[in-house]
Structure 1
Amino acid sequence: MVHVREMDGADIEAVSTIRVRGWQAAYAGIVPQTYLDAMTVEGDAGQRRQLFSQPRRKSRDLLALGDRGPVGWICFGPYRSEMSGLGRVGEVYALYVSPGLIGQGIGRRLLGEAHARMKSQGFESSALWVLCDNQRARRFYERAGYQADGATQDDVYDEITLTELRYQRVL
């Protein structure tokens, strides 16, 4: 049984562990291994503490808790750039589940809770970005009602350019 609650400052180390291990598992063979190997929980936690302590932070973080503690995390908020003509758009910035627990409904539960909270905040739709080569994530989001809308952006990891696709769905 998984319980979802708001993340607090005491959860930063656990969230960073989930995020770094999630990156290393999900992006192996996609993102250069040198980049993945250089990721540390300590480094991520430092960045997360900075983000989390910003007084005007608009993002929200939810934590999924299992029998043994944190098992998943989602971060969402307003869409980070203009999408004119599409109404009020929220964005899922990040969603990670402990790699050994993927496929047990934790991500689906976190995403559903984020959708409900975005809708209650007046957002009409949700968008997110996913690496083009991350087929598992693309299937997950498509099953959740997201569709690629044709927008792309490039990110560079250790001098390797990777393309992300934007996905959207109505809330």
Structure 2
Amino acid sequence: MTLGDCDRVSRIRVQGWRTAYRGLVPQPYLDAMDPAADAERRRAMFTGASGDVVNLVAEDDAGEVVGWACTGRYRDGEARTADAELYALYVDAGRFGTGIGQALLRESVHRCEAAGHARMLLWVLAGNARARRFYERAGFRPDGAEEPFVVEGVAVPEVPYARPLGS
């Protein structure tokens, strides 16, 4: 990913939230999401990111960004652990089912393995059945816990998933 990809990545991310979280997250929150403001935050995070954070994009044959994944060390509150975390994975909604998400996830897993992480974790909304099936097909398993992600005063349950890395 380059700094110039931030606008497209933010459009994909906002579109992803509006598509995947409709009915799970309060609609006024989704409606208020602003791709331009998200791109500004993304640029600030991108330029200030540590070497532990890896942003990957997938491009189509014309060079247009069609997906984005971001990984780094697992966030346990304010601490960072030795495990890896998939912070985000979004694909342009018009390209669901084309293998872009699988390719981004495979490359993210590969890079985290190469960096020496023994395990990769991620969080997914409990009601996001499509994402849960996607991660389960890739070898991730829920750990049985559930924590609320609070959006505009509404508790939206999230489930942590984990997958061992390496041989």
Shorter-chain TM band: over 0.9
Of the three residues 3, 7, 17, the one matched with 1:13 is 7
Percent identity over the alignment is 46
Q: Is the 8 A contact 1:79 1:89 kept in 2?
A: yes
Partner of 1:38: 32
Give 5+ residue unaligned stretches, structure 2. Answer: none
Cα RMSD, aligned residues only: 1.4
Give 5+ residue unaligned stretches, structure 1. Answer: 1-6
Q: C-alpha offsets along residues 143-164 of structure 1, whole Å, 9 cap, x if unaligned?
A: 0000001232211112111010
Of the three residues 129, 139, 144, the one matched with 2:133 is 139
Q: Is the 8 A contact 1:124 1:170 kept in 2?
A: yes
Q: Distance in 2 between matches of 1:79 and 1:134?
A: 21
Q: Which amino acid aligns with 1:22?
A: G
Partner of 1:81: 76
TM-score, length basis structure 1? 0.90
**Secondary structure at 1:79's aligned position in 2?**
strand
When the two structures are aligned, how many residues end up with a matched partner?
161
Change (3 A) 1:55 1:61: closer
Q: Distance in 2 between matches of 1:12 and 1:55?
A: 14
Q: Which amino acid aligns with 2:157?
A: T
Of the three residues 115, 118, 128, the one matched with 2:122 is 128
Q: C-alpha offsets along residues 36-69 of structure 1, whole Å, 9 cap, x if unaligned?
A: 0000110100110111111535311000001241
Task: After TM superposition, list the pairs within 5 Å mapping 1:1-171 onto structure 2.
Answer: 7-54=1-48, 56=50, 58-68=52-62, 69-81=64-76, 88-171=82-165
Partner of 1:4: none
Q: Which amino acid aligns with 1:142?
A: E
Structure 1 residue ranges (4+ consecutive) displaced by more than 3 angstroms after TM superposition:
none
Q: Which amino acid aligns with 1:40?
A: D
**Secondary structure at 2:25's aligned position in 1?**
coil
Q: Distance in 1 between matches of 2:2 and 2:105?
A: 18
Greater shift after overlay, 105-114 or 24-33?
24-33
Q: Distance in 2 between matches of 1:66 and 1:114?
A: 18
Q: Which amino acid aligns with 1:63?
A: V
Q: Distance in 1 between matches of 2:59 and 2:49?
A: 26
Q: Distance in 2 between matches of 1:64 and 1:101?
A: 11
